[in-house]
């Protein structure tokens, strides 16, 4: 286990070197969400926007301890191939199901309830992701959205609706482009 932790640590450091090319979340966001997943015992994670798998690795390292799983969606096949290789190198593939395609099409057909839904994809679609996924987030679960400060103008409708939804307690964290964490009551 210690050897695997070292492999994961080195992989995350390596991926941080390419974070601008792949639009990765900052280390602070990954670490914070990893801690939340471990502390809450969350087991079911849906990620919209895999990219090279950086954030997914943070999530998978946490759900592994909780005997959980992640479904991660990515539009670009090239990025899925890179992410899959990264997951295999980290020994985390068993906890991750990758789905390739347009996120809206995929999430419309996804069943079940999720402990955490993480959105880091097409900013103009955040409102649509929210509308589809809101009923699929369990009470006590979280919706987390990245880039809510840096891309605020592209997602004003989403931010307005979720900030006025009394079913959520919301916090904004100043990591990277801004991270919204919404706890569903």
Segment 140-170, tens digit of pLDDT: 999 999 999 999 999 999 999 999 999 999 9
Please give the model's pTM, rounded to 2 decimal places: 0.93
Quote the CA–CA distance of 96 and 53 in Å, as a whole number. Answer: 10
Query: How do beta strands 168-173 and 179-184 pair?
Result: antiparallel
Q: Are 148 and 2 in contact (CB under 8 A)?
A: no
State the CATH number of the domain containing residue 156.
3.40.50.150
Task: Name the H helices within 17-94.
Answer: 19-22, 27-40, 54-65, 77-90
Give residue 147's domain range.
2-184
The pair of structure tokens assigned to 143 is 């919706």
Q: Are 33 and 54 in contact (CB under 8 A)?
A: no
Q: How many domains does the chain have?
A: 1
Segment 113-141, tens digit of pLDDT: 999 999 999 999 999 999 999 999 999 99
Q: What size, in residues, is the chain?
A: 185
Q: Are 37 and 59 in contact (CB under 8 A)?
A: yes
Segment 15-47, tens digit of pLDDT: 888 766 778 888 999 999 999 999 999 999 999
């Amino acid at each position: 286990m210690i050897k695997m932790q070292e492999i994961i640590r080195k992989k995350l450091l390596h991926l941080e070197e390419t974070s601008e090319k792949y639009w990765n979340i900052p280390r602070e966001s990954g670490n914070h969400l990893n801690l939340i997943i471990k502390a809450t015992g969350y087991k079911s994670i849906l990620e919209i926007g895999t990219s090279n798998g950086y954030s997914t690795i943070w999530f998978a390292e946490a759900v592994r301890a909780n005997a959980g799983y992640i479904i991660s969606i990515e539009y670009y096949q090239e990025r899925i191939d890179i992410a899959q290789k990264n997951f295999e190198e980290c020994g985390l593939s068993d906890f991750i199901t990758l789905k390739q395609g347009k996120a809206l099409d995929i999430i419309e057909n996804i069943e079940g309830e999720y402990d955490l839904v993480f959105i880091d994809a097409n900013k103009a679609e955040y409102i649509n992701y929210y509308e589809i996924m809101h009923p699929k987030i369990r009470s006590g679960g979280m919706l987390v959205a990245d880039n809510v400060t840096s891309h605020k103008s592209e997602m004003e409708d989403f931010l307005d609706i979720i900030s006025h939804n009394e079913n959520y307690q919301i916090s904004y964290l100043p990591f990277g482009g801004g991270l919204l964490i919404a706890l569903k009551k």
